[in-house]
Amino acid sequence: MDLKIAGKRALVLGGNRGMGLAIAKSLAAEGVALTIAARDEKALAHAAKEIGTADTITVDLSDTAALGAFAGRVGDIDILVNNTGGPPYGSALGRDLMDWEESFQSMSLSVIGLTDLFVPAMRAKGWGRVVTVVSTGAIQPIPVLGISNTLRAGLIAWSKSLAPEVAKDGVTVNILMPGRVATERVALTDDATAKRENIAVETVRQRSFEQIPVGRYAEPEEIGAAAAFLCSGVASYITGSVIRVDGGYVRHV
């Protein structure tokens, strides 16, 4: 299928590894001109080589005061993939308020601010895609990710609120909700769960497999393919939606 996005310009946050890198590769395969952004300059350079062709730019999403200058360096884009890192592990109760504040800056306010900066050019051109990557923890909370569960849920409400404001301008705004994906972050989450429950990490992993109807973790490439479709020209009638790619993990309708 021709996704009709060859020649479009995209920015993928966190495009240096894991799901972000997989999304960048999927877009590149469709002929999209890519810019990938993250904090680690060396990791970005390595990722660009893997992708084959991509511009790289460093960004610290916790520094929201610098987002305007960052957006200026990137320039106008057609596709924005909001893919941020996660907060420190831990429960929702008794956390240091600084953990909440710092995580809100880097995970939520940065996404909202950058979207505000890039969407006007999309509206002016009559075409744009905003895809924000969250987690199933936003609707089925993960015990060791209290802050992440909370902030990701807020991004769903923000995305749903924004979508109708820009729909008539040809800009779609959607949430991509991966389940358990075979990335470094999920490996760390399994480790944190194992320590919290004082059990073997392999026990945690096998228990997760039993909870997922497909019986395994997703491969990053499967998330990349779903993201590329949401960013495509042929997905022009999908907006304000939450697209789950979770192997059937979330059970409610």
121-141 mean pLDDT: 97
The helix (run of H) or strand (run of E) holding residue 155 is helix 146-166
4 within domain boundaries: no
Are 86 and 185 a contacting pair, CB within 8 Å? Answer: yes
- Domain enclosing residue 161, as ranges: 9-180+220-245
Residue with tokens 């880097």: 106
Same domain, 132 and 212: no
Give yes or no: residues 208 and 161 share one domain. no
Alpha helices in 11-145 (DSSP H): 18-29, 41-51, 67-74, 97-103, 110-125
What are the tens digits of pLDDT across the range 163-177?
999 999 999 999 999
The percentage of residues in the chain with a pLDDT greater than 90, rounded to a whole number, is: 91
Look at residue 5 and tell me whether its pLDDT is greater than 90: yes
Please indicate, yes or no, whether residues 137 and 173 belong to a single structural domain of this protein.
yes
Residue 227 has pLDDT above 90, yes or no: yes
Both 70 and 167 in one domain: the answer is yes
Mean pLDDT score across all residues of the chain: 96
**Are residues 169 and 206 part of one domain?**
no
Any domain includes 44 = yes
Residue 224 lies in a domain: yes
pLDDT at 200 over 90: yes
Write down the pTM of the prediction: 0.94
Q: Are both 58 and 146 inside the same structural domain?
A: yes
SS3 label, residue 196: helix
**Number of C-beta neighbours around residue 202 at 10 A:** 10
Maximum CA extent, the chain: 55
pLDDT, position 75: 98
Domain count, the chain: 2
Please name which of 249, 227, 85, 84 lies closest in space to residue 179, comparing C-alpha atoms.
249
Residues 42 and 136 in one domain: yes
Are β-strands 55-58 and 79-82 bridged in parallel, bridged antiparallel, or unpaired? unpaired
- pLDDT over 90 (residue 33): yes
Strands (E), 104-158: 128-133
Statement to judge: residues 231 and 114 lie in one domain: yes
Whether residues 39 and 161 fall in one domain: yes
* 83 lies in the same domain as 190: no
Q: Is residue 253 part of a domain?
A: no
- Residue 244's H or E segment, with its range, is strand 242-245
Residue 141's domain is classified under what CATH number?
A: 3.40.50.720
Per-residue model confidence as pLDDT tens digits over 81-119: 999 988 888 999 999 999 999 999 999 999 999 999 999
